[in-house]
Amino acid sequence: MHLRDTDFWDDLMHGVFGPRSGGARIICDSENSATGVGKTTAAVSTALAVSKAFDYQLSPRDFTLSGEQYLERWREHPSKEQPSVIVLDELAGAGAGDARRSMSNENVNLGRSWQLMRKKRIVTICTLPHWSDADKRLRRSADYRLWCLERPIGYFRPYKVTSTFDRGDVRTESYNDVQRVAFPNLDALDDPYFQAITKKKDALLSSDEFNANELVNIEDETTKDPEEVEHEQKVSDAQRAREKGLSTYEVADVVDMSQSWVDKYTEMPDTTDTTEATADD
């Protein structure tokens, strides 16, 4: 079943666009804490779907590896009028919401940001090996859990997070309409956002200390914004079309842009005959 055809998706969108008009917190873990089952891929693909529904332009900076990076991006995000998305990969490691770090200022601040989701309609998607690895306060603040299956790889089961009436114990409730939801192999598709978070992970693994907070913002140095990449590609295609002798009107049709855009970003090809003329005797 497609993600947008599920009751989970309806609940998520209703929470953002309905009377509550708030954000959402999603924790993505895996069956038996298995590695290599696509937790990051599931998180990124869900972020892509959600950002499209919000008409929100994702940035590589929306894919973070630590609580500090997440909070910095949280402060930069739009106000409540524009719903948005942030991915916090590896929540329980590299300086994030680990249950073993429950007294750290960073963990407290992360929990507070989740409590303030009504101030900004941010859908946060976190990954970690297992649901229980997150601090209990973060689990209680979560709205949904996406449980990636070991077999077949490329599927998750969505759950709604609830709490008991008397003691406030955290529970997860499955959705009856769907057993599993498929997500694409973004690595094989060379997705730019998946590549952005992968580069950050590689830099973290290569660092002296396994602490994402100590890393510089490598996305600004190694990863172009996908919108910028698309723009550059269109300019290149348009210029090649002009070099082939097409008019600006024809080029605009080729790259699906306006004629004024073609005039602005391309140059008229040089058709000057460089062959030297032979003087008459």
User: In this structure, are strands 84-88 and 144-148 parallel, antiparallel, or unpaired?
Assistant: unpaired
Report whether 12 contacts 121 (CB < 8 A). no
Residue 74: the pLDDT is: 87
- Side chain identity, residue 243: E
- Most confident listed range (103-112, 184-193, 201-210, 245-254): 184-193
Q: CA–CA separation, 166 vs 67, rounded Å? A: 31
Give the least confident one: 4-18, 42-56, 173-187, 241-255: 241-255
Span 64-99, pLDDT tens digits: 888 888 888 888 888 788 999 999 987 755 444 444
CATH topology of domain 3-223: Rossmann fold (3.40.50)
- Report, as an integer, the average pLDDT of 45-68: 91
Residue 123 has pLDDT above 60, yes or no: yes
Residue 56: the pLDDT is: 94
Residue 119 has pLDDT above 90, yes or no: no
Give the least confident one: 112-121, 241-250, 268-277: 268-277
> Is pLDDT larger for residue 232 or for residue 29?
29
- Report, as an integer, the average pLDDT of 226-234: 72
Residue 222 has pLDDT above 60, yes or no: no
The residue extents of the domains of the chain are 3-223, 230-265
The mean pLDDT of the chain is 81
